[in-house]
Chain A
């Protein structure tokens, strides 16, 4: 018998904003197994960000059953939710939502200092391999406002990875980036899903949200589409390319 899924959604309805309470994505049936790399696509405004935040346990689902690591998220409170969140890394879209009052290294080490009680020096030493892997040594002392968007996203990725999460959710990491940076992100997602020393060589479970599928066709194991409030499973990359439906063509994008 296989291991239980990392993430499971049954008849889940996702609210389109934290306040409205109206569902933007309805009837989601989804199961993510350990070590899988999922790519969830949707055009702008389709609700991909809200969907990913709900999947990561950051916002409540309007209805249905959402389980993370076998625990129903809606029934959890306080410290238990916090413990679940420590096992999920989340990269926000845009500029990664770094803390503007902290430097890059302070942003990256904050989870370790807060949860593991490490001193600043010990935390910096701890994340040194992560910084080297993500090529961030040169910007360690910089304030987020002095960094370009691409570099801010890398710092945000390092912060999301600092606690060595089991599940990593990346919300549109390549939007607006040049082809060189897209290639960098593709290689990073590939490394994460095959296993990197920072995560003890084990493949991470990765969910990537994107407006354009093509850059991740060779990276993702499974693909899904959010289209007009419906969550559709598309299968593997071969399946995606074989589909001729207009919504799929729309998110597939130009040949990369």
Chain B
């Protein structure tokens, strides 16, 4: 080969019209999938809500242990991990922020920064995504496998409502767990932040630190935090059950259903988060 030509950079081929058309078609396909999934997911949610209300207290001997088991699996078992995550987040993010604010004489902004970043935004989202990653994906595989092996039909054959038996405990557990874990995350992140400030010898006592946070909180922060985390948890629970159970699935499709679940939950949580932004701005 000509040494001059060999030394020239290889030209990057421009996307051909076929590639562009394929990309557009792929995007259109994704949009079609989402527009088809959302109404079905809403219908599935309404059915679940109906079952939850009409069958409340039914078959307690079976349902309560099932709910306890799901709560342990989705919530209690994740407490150590969430606490560790909170402490690390506090050390890395909050501690540095406090140090910077002190350095530039903006210590009076510590409270509002912590409330906005830690309590209103970071903790709910991280708690939801941790639950999704640790338990949600495993649950889709579990439910998808059960569905593909005909366990839903087996439940129907003994007169057990699959929505009541499989969906309701999971949705309750995910909702309660994300709410509770977000609280643990808030507390440990704040603690981690103070540990960082303390070890750096910043002139801030623990009482002052808590005073900054408490002074920047408004009473609406509590119900809004509960509502937001509850919606995150309920959304994750519903999407998991919808992807795993609501439609006939083959064993080889379980992996793809898990990926769809993570994508849908991620987008859904961010959309819910966006809805809360205007509310927080007026507080």
A residues sitting closer than 8 Å to B (CB atoms) are 18-19, 53, 56, 58, 82-83, 85-86, 88, 90, 92, 97-101, 110-111, 113-115, 117-120, 159-160, 162-163
Contacts and interface: CB of A to CB of B under 8 A. Distances in A.
B60 A117 contact: yes
A90 B61 contact: no
Contact of B61 (A18, A53, A86, A119): A119
A115 B159 contact: yes
B157 A85 contact: yes
27 contacts: A18-B248, A19-B248, A53-B153, A82-B159, A83-B159, A85-B157, A85-B158, A86-B159, A92-B150, A92-B154, A97-B151, A97-B153, A98-B154, A99-B154, A110-B62, A110-B158, A111-B158, A111-B159, A111-B160, A113-B61, A114-B59, A114-B159, A117-B61, A119-B61, A120-B61, A160-B157, A160-B158
Closest 7 CB pairs of A and B: A97-B154, A85-B159, A90-B157, A86-B159, A111-B158, A82-B159, A97-B150
Contacts of B159: 82-83, 85-86, 111, 114-115, 163
B248 A159 contact: no
B156 A58 contact: yes
B122 interface: no
Interface of B: 59-62, 142, 145-146, 149-151, 153-161, 165, 248
Contacts of A82: 159, 161
Interface centre among B155, B160, B161, B248, by most chain A C-beta atoms within 10 angstroms, is B160
A182 B68 CA distance: 42
Contacts of B62: 110, 113-114
A95 to B, nearest CB: 9
Contacts of B153: 53, 58, 92, 97
A82 B158 CA distance: 8
A82 B155 CA distance: 11
A97 B149 contact: yes
Given A86-B159, A110-B160, A115 B59 contact: yes
Contacts of B149: 97, 100
A19 B145 CA distance: 19
Nearest to A84: B159
Given A113-B59, A120-B61, A160-B158, 4 more contacts: A58-B156, A82-B159, A97-B149, A101-B142
Interface centre among B150, B156, B161, by most chain A C-beta atoms within 10 angstroms, is B156
Contacts of B150: 92, 97
Contacts of B157: 56, 58, 85, 88, 90, 92, 160
A117 B161 CA distance: 15
Contacts of B161: 82
B42 to A, nearest CB: 20
A88 B149 CA distance: 21
Nearest to A111: B158
B121 to A, nearest CB: 37
A53 B151 CA distance: 14
B151 A100 contact: yes
Contacts of A119: 61
B74 to A, nearest CB: 15
A165 B47 CA distance: 29
Given A92-B154, A98-B154, A100-B151, A118 B61 contact: yes
